[in-house]
Structure 1
Amino acid sequence: MAANHAIRWMRFLHRRIVRKDALNERVRRTLVRSLYTQPISLAIGVAVGVLSAAVSAVLSGAAVLYAVCGMLAVIAAGRLVIAFGICADDADVSTTKLERLYATGAVTYALFLGIFAGLTIVLHAEPGIQALMLVNAIAYGVGVCARNAGRPAIALAQLALAALPLLVAALWEGSVAHFAMAVAMTLLMGAMSSIVTNLFTTLRGAIGAAETSAELATKMQLLARTDVVTGLANRAGLNHAMTQKLEAVSQDERLALFWLDLDRFKEVNDLLGHPVGDRVLTEVAHRLRESAPADASMARFGGDEFIMFCSVESRLECERLAARVLDTVTRPLRIDETRLEVPCSMGIAILPEDADDADSLMQAADLALYHAKVGGKNHSRFFEKSMSRNLMRRREIEAELRAAIQRDELSIFFQPIIDLATGRIRTFEALVRWFHPEKGELRPDEFIPVAEETGVIVTLGNWITAQAARAAVHWPEDVTLAVNLSPMQIRAPGAALGILTALRDAGLAPSRLELEVTESLFLDDNQSTANFINELSAAGIRFALDDFGTGYSSLGSIHKFPFSKIKVDRSFVSGANVGRKSEAIIRAVAEMGARLDMEIVAEGLETVDQVRAVRATGCTLGQGYYFSRAVPDYLAAMLIAQEREGAPMRASA
């Protein structure tokens, strides 16, 4: 344990040292770059020095001054070439190289300027020449201390090399004035050393703080654009990546956006917990990276939704990529010995065919995803222009449907279900009708799917149950009420309580209510569905399996849940495909119902021959236009009254 602790501590110290070294190097680079800033000031300084030396050499006529002036000019030219020819921001040029190039030119120039000024003293040039060069050398040394304080060694070396020849010359002369000058220069160098050191400390601290703040800001920005669970970009990161990619896209380049949604992820969270859900998301993100092109931008858009954004050559390539991604992401995965299957739906949109900018491209992909989920889930759909028109129509219907519920524009109609043996009414199925004040009657297949897709079906379903129960309470007790339920309505919180409350408010006994559910409800083995059915069955409400044979037909569901009735879909009774096969299927279902003490309803009966055929196969109940269309509540009451007066509905069949 102690050894492990020591290893972790050493690793921590190593990381701290590495980070500190990296910071020091960035600070050093910044300080070295400061030497190359404002090359104009450098040009002016060396030009003044060379010009002053040239004037002094001409006025004195000394050959040695001509020679030193020439060297000074050559060095000055070299410094200007370096200052203007090298880019300090070029990452290919090392910091050490930049520093050495500058230092070589700087100290050489300072040395020859100091030698020239010292020679004017030794050679006893005119006082004006001595004063000119003395001022040049000392001013240069003091000036570079301020300019080059970022690298104090270079700054102080320049000051020392410019001043030392003057100091030596002054001591060589030996006069009181020259001795005083030597003392003054010595004190000046000491003072400037302290100033340069303080300047360097301040500069280095400020730059270090700025670098640390910039590094922290970069990390914070990266964190702000990253999803903490999957490591992919989040919405902000996706927007940033898309903006950059769209700015660089060429006119003939295609960009595709793939919007993925895990279809059953909520069940993973509900049944196995959020930690397992997070591991599933992490694995999906890993698979997305694995199957995505190298240039793709990927993000977790939120919840169980992922987005991939990349360039594509053609629609065909896009189709192949979509198939590969969907196949990879939906492979079964294993977490803690639990095998999970997480199906996925995908919507795809392509720029510029489907959209002109990022927002409209995402809207198009979102629409395509919606249609992929509505179309059966676990597959992909490309955006089509008609989807936008359909969306506008759905939104219009959704808004008007919500208002219709409030304004009582909806009505409940009732279609009888007849006992095929006696011709008497056994049940009325409640069906909703919408009479729009401007558009007239709207068919259920227009607004019911919209209600299911938008969640309005929960409100609508509760309203239908309450209204139908108020009508059914006035019927004879042996006539029951059947109400269709949507899977979304069943899974809504408090669904069972809402139905029981509607019955209580209407005064209808639970035993007189029959709830019809479709086979699609059992595609997902959801515990809430089982709880709903079991709770209402315990209260006395009965259940019927509607549209049997058209979808995912499972004998397991019939065995598991307390169904009292099975409704055979109309496609087996009427239509072009009716024949020996359909008759055999109905007969088999009817025989199963008889053995399980379940009644079998044949839907869609329109002729007497159909009635005779389904009765011969064993169906006990029938429903269809042959007996009656769906009628308002007052006509339903009239049908019951006529029957009770001795006129069974077409019992002669």
Structure 2
Amino acid sequence: MPHREGTDALSDRVRMLLVRTLYTQPTSLAIGAANGAISSAVAAFLGGERLLFILAAALTAVAIARVAMAFYLPAHTGSGDVRKLEIAYEVGAFAYSLVLGLVAAATMLMELPVGIELLMVANALGYGIGICARNAGRPVIALGQLLLVVLPIMLACIMLGGLAMVLLAVNLLLLLPAMSSITLNVFKVLRESIAEAERSQALAERMQVLARTDVVTGLANRAGLNHALVEALVDLPAEAALGLFWIDLDRFKEVNDLLGHQTGDRVLAEIGRRLRATLPAGDTIARFGGDEFVICTRVADKHACEKIAALVQDEITRPIGLDGERLEMQASIGIACLPDDGKDADALMKAADLALYRAKANGKNQACFFDATMTRELVRRREIEAELRLALQRDELSIFFQPIVDLETGRIRTFEALVRWFHPEKGELKPDEFIPVAEESGVIVALGNWITAQAARAAAQWPADVTLAVNLSPLQIKAPGAAVGILKALKEAQLDPARLELEVTESLFLEDSPVVRSFVEVLSKVGVQFALDDFGTGYSSLAYIHNWPFSKIKVDRSFVSGPHVGRKSDAIIRAVSQMAATLDMTIVAEGLETIEQVQAVRDAGCTLGQGFYFSRAVPDYLAAMLLAQEHHTHIKTQTG
């Protein structure tokens, strides 16, 4: 039964479409009508019979009426009045066909000159056959016209009698099933083509909907948002305002890492459901990607935006219960308004993005309006963040190595890996410019893993007694799988773990994090060394040295070359050196630039030194050359 209903519905739609095709070429209809009217008028004029003049006049009148309807009705008839179009066409078509057939039959029965008979019979039969092709979309009309044209001629043949006339009548009779078969086949092809076109259109529309829909939340995705924004701007009244809210879930990554991506998807779906239930039906709500949502709605003013932002945050912060787990989410929101903050969709999105960046930088879990004053600084930082992500893909970053030298022998004991960025347009960007941005944005995790992997490959080519030092960001260490990433880099580079020194700052240990403890334990177990960097600049608690497996302490450069260098700083270095010697640690003095500084820290008990006095950071091939020169000098000294 459903199939029958579906078929009937399809037939109705096909019928509606094919009825309208009857009117698609009124010009061809006008040419055919004019031809019949002129031919009948000529036949009447040449034959001189009163009946022919009457029939010719009737045919002309019907022709004029049909042409007028063909041009007028489609433009003034709604989609629901298809039946009216069909009836109007049927009346005109059947009337014209019948009169044309009668004109041809009359010329035969009046025994007019052969030329006149041939003119009208050929005209009538040609019209009947041709109309079957033109009106095949409605077989009833097409075959009805053919029948009305042929029947009068067949009757005339029978009335005239004779073998030739009888055979002509038989031929005309056989013409009917032949043309019926052709017309019905054409109709079947047309019907199937229309049905296939409908299926293709429905599939295309469904694919378009799917392409614009986020599979996790059922909201619009990025493509759907772009489409909705364009439509919203087109439909927006001249004096109306549009508010754009860019939402970022704070610390959502922890949900994925701790509970799994399936739970993360359920959280996103629940937040999407809450947003959809809270906001008016006409508002655009989209999942822009990852843990970001975008809302676009008409607003009266900024006060209305504040209310919406507060409502959204209330919904997001409301606890979410999943499988017995109680999750509490927070969100940062960037808000931009059209026309104040942008004249088009791109400008509005950019302004909301900058406002979101400011909201996150200010401590998260808050809403922030776009302000023109934030553009310069934040645009610069956003550019750096975006370009840094691309730089990792395009190999624009390089690893340089600065030697750490034994102050007694002058030999290189370690190379510290330092990242350098040579931008193709902006030239060299200093680490101070992009490292903080990398830490704020989370790019530092990918960057740190890349630095470790690249440096390990270079270090694997050095002599076995030369180690590699790599700085680690606390964010990198706390990232899931941080230890696995470092072990993978060592394995791929075939570098002995004991030759890797990870430099960390004491800020990492301000909170007793089990993640940090696990990271240190896993890597210490395989032989990786740890160095406490920038000692003396923070709390400098001896508890760190006591509780964690440091093999090296790096004294900050401020004790060596800062403005307060003197007797006190010298005493501090001596005290730290003596402690390190007792604990079997090495002490590195950073920032050495003069021979006097080298002598001072060596006399104070430092064992290693680092700074421009020895060498700036150099590319890997120059680092290899320094080691080769040192090796050559060492051999020459021994043999000399």
Alignment map for 1:82-481 (pairs within 5 Å): 82-87=69-74, 92-249=79-236, 251-394=238-381, 449-450=436-437, 452-455=439-442
3-state SS of paired residue (2:24): coil
Structure 1 counterpart of 2:170, which letter? Answer: V
**Matched residue of 2:228: which SS?**
helix
Letter in 2 for 1:301: F
Q: Would you say the 8 A contact 2:358–2:368 is kept in 1?
A: yes
Q: How many Å separate the matches in 2 of 1:20 and 1:93?
A: 20
In the aligned structure 1, how far is the partner of 2:501 from the partner of 2:120?
116
Counterparts of 2:256 and 2:84 in 1: how far apart (Å)? Answer: 59
**Deviation digits for residues 588-615 of structure 1, max 9, x if unmatched?**
xxxxxxxxxx9xxxxxxxxxxxxxxxxx
Partner SS, residue 150 of structure 1 = coil
Aligned partners of 1:228, 1:260: CA distance in 2, in Å?
19
Look up the equivalent residue of 1:515 and give its one-letter code: E
Q: Kindly provide the amino acid, as one letter, of the partner of residue 478 in structure 2.
A: I
Counterpart amino acid of 1:153?
A: V
- How far off its partner does 1:352 sit? 3.0
- By how many angstroms is 1:282 displaced? 1.8
Cα separation, partners in 2 of 1:20 and 1:233, compared to 1, 3 Å? farther
Q: Which amino acid aligns with 1:344?
A: A
CA–CA separation in structure 2 for the residues paired with 1:34 and 1:265: 58
1:193-214: CA deviation from partner (whole Å, max 9, x where unpaired): 2222222223233333333222
Structure 2 residue matching 1:198: 3-state secondary structure: helix
1:405–1:197 distance in 2 versus 1, CA, 3 Å: closer
Native 8 Å contact 1:485 1:515 kept in 2: no
Asked whether 1:490 is paired with 2:478, we answer yes
Contact 1:138 1:162 in 2 (8 A): yes
Q: CA-to-partner distance for each residue in 1:217-240, whole Å, 9 max, x for gaps?
A: 222222222222222222222223
Match of 2:63 in 1: 76
Q: In the superposition, relative to structure 1, how do residues 634 and 32 fare at CA in structure 2: closer, same or farther (>3 Å)? A: farther
Q: Decide whether the 8 Å contact of 2:129 with 2:179 is kept in 1.
A: yes
Q: Matched residue of 1:334: which SS?
A: strand
1:515 corresponds to 2:509: no
RMSD of aligned Cα (Å): 4.8
Structure 1 CA distance, aligned partners of 2:496 and 2:333? 40
Maintained 8 Å contact 2:243/2:338: yes
The Cα shift of 1:138 comes to 1.0
Q: Secondary structure at the match of 2:74?
A: coil
CA offset at residue 144 of structure 1?
0.4
The aligned amino acid for 1:359 is D
Judge which range, 241-250 or 155-164, deviates more: 241-250
Give the distance between the partners of 1:96 and 1:252, measured in 2 at CA: 45
What residue ranges of structure 1 are gaps of 5+ in the alignment? 1-12, 412-431, 433-441, 464-482, 544-562, 567-597, 599-624, 646-653
Give 1:145 deviation, angstroms: 0.8
* Matched position secondary structure for 1:300: strand
User: How far is 1:461 from its partner?
Assistant: 13
Helix, strand or coil at the partner of 2:506: strand
Q: CA deviation at 1:373?
A: 1.7
Structure 1 window deviating more from structure 2 (527-536 vs 376-385): it is 527-536
Q: 1:193 to 1:309 in 2, by over 3 A?
A: same
- Tell me how far apart the structure 2 counterparts of residues 220 and 493 of structure 1 sit (CA, whole Å): 38
CA–CA distance in structure 1, aligned partners of residues 163 and 400 of structure 2: 113
Change (3 A) 1:631 1:454: farther
For the Cα contact (< 8 Å) 1:65–1:116, is it kept in 2? yes
Residue in structure 1 matching 2:572, options 635, 639, 644: 639
- Decide whether the 8 Å contact of 1:354 with 1:361 is kept in 2: yes
Counterpart position of 2:461:
none
1:439-481: CA deviations, max 9, x gaps? xxx999x988545314476678999xxxxxxxxxxxxxxxxxx
**Residue 255 of structure 1: CA displacement?**
2.9
Aligned length: 502
Change (3 A) 1:143 1:245: same
CA deviations on 1:67-105 (whole Å, 9 max, x unpaired) are 434433333233223211122897633443433332222
Structure 1 residues 279, 101: CA separation in 2 closer, same or farther (over 3 Å shift)?
farther
Q: Which moved more, 1:265-274 or 1:109-118?
A: 265-274
Measure, in 1, the Cα distance between the counterparts of 2:378 and 2:244. 20
Match of 2:30 in 1: 43
Contact 1:457 1:489 in 2 (8 A): no
Report the AA paired with residue 506 of structure 2: L
Structure 2 counterpart SS, 1:51: helix
Distance of aligned partners of 1:462 and 1:564 in 2 relative to their CA distance in 1, 3 Å threshold:
farther
| Structure 2 residues without counterparts, runs of 5 or longer | 405-417, 419-429, 452-470, 488-494, 533-540, 548-557, 579-640
**C-alpha distance 634-361 of structure 1, shift in aligned 2 (>3 A):** farther
Q: 1:346 to 1:643 in 2, by over 3 A?
A: closer
- CA drift of 1:115 comes to 2.1
The residue number in structure 1 matching 2:592 is: none
- Shift of the 134–357 alpha-carbon distance from structure 1 to 2, 3 Å rule, reads same
Instruction: Compute the TM-score of the two structures, normalised by the length of structure 1.
Output: 0.64
In the alignment, the residues of structure 2 paired with residue 215 and residue 323 of structure 1 have an alpha-carbon distance, to the nearest angstrom, of 40
Residue 396 of structure 1: how far off its partner (Å): 8.4
Q: CA deviation at 1:532?
A: 4.8
SS in 2 for 1:233: coil
**Percent same amino acid at aligned positions?**
44
More displaced 10-residue stretch of structure 1: 532-541 or 128-137 = 532-541
| Change in 2 beyond 3 A, CA 1:307/1:632 | farther
Deviates more, 1:248-257 or 1:483-492: 483-492
Q: Structure 1, residues 470-512: CA drift from partner, whole Å, max 9, x if none?
A: xxxxxxxxxxxxx99745643364369979x99966999x9xx
Q: Deviations over 1:552-610 (max 9, x none)?
A: xxxxxxxxxxx9979xxxxxxxxxxxxxxxxxxxxxxxxxxxxxxx9xxxxxxxxxxxx
Moved more, 154-163 or 296-305: 296-305
Question: Offset of 1:537 from its aligned partner?
Answer: 11
- CA displacement, residues 514-568 of structure 1 (integer Å, 9 cap, x when unaligned): 934587x79xxx873574588799999999xxxxxxxxxxxxxxxxxxx9979xx
TM-fit CA distance, 1:137: 1.3
Structure 1 residues 333-383: Cα deviation after superposition (integer angstroms, max 9, x where no partner): 323343322212211222332234333322222221122122222221122
Using the TM superposition, give the Cα deviation of residue 251 of structure 1 relative to its aligned residue in structure 2, in angstroms.
4.8
Q: Identify the residue that residue 582 of structure 1 maps to in structure 2.
A: none
> Letter of the aligned partner of 2:268 in structure 1?
L
Would the aligned equivalents of 1:405 and 1:460 in 2 still touch at CA under 8 Å? no
Q: Measured at CA, do residues 89 and 358 of structure 1 come closer, stay the same or move farther in structure 2, by a change above 3 Å?
A: farther
In the alignment, the residues of structure 1 paired with residue 8 and residue 106 of structure 2 have an alpha-carbon distance, to the nearest angstrom, of 46
CA distance in 2, matches of 1:87, 1:226: 38
Separation in 2 of the partners of 1:535 and 1:643? Answer: 28
Report the CA distance between 1:161 and its aligned residue. Answer: 0.5
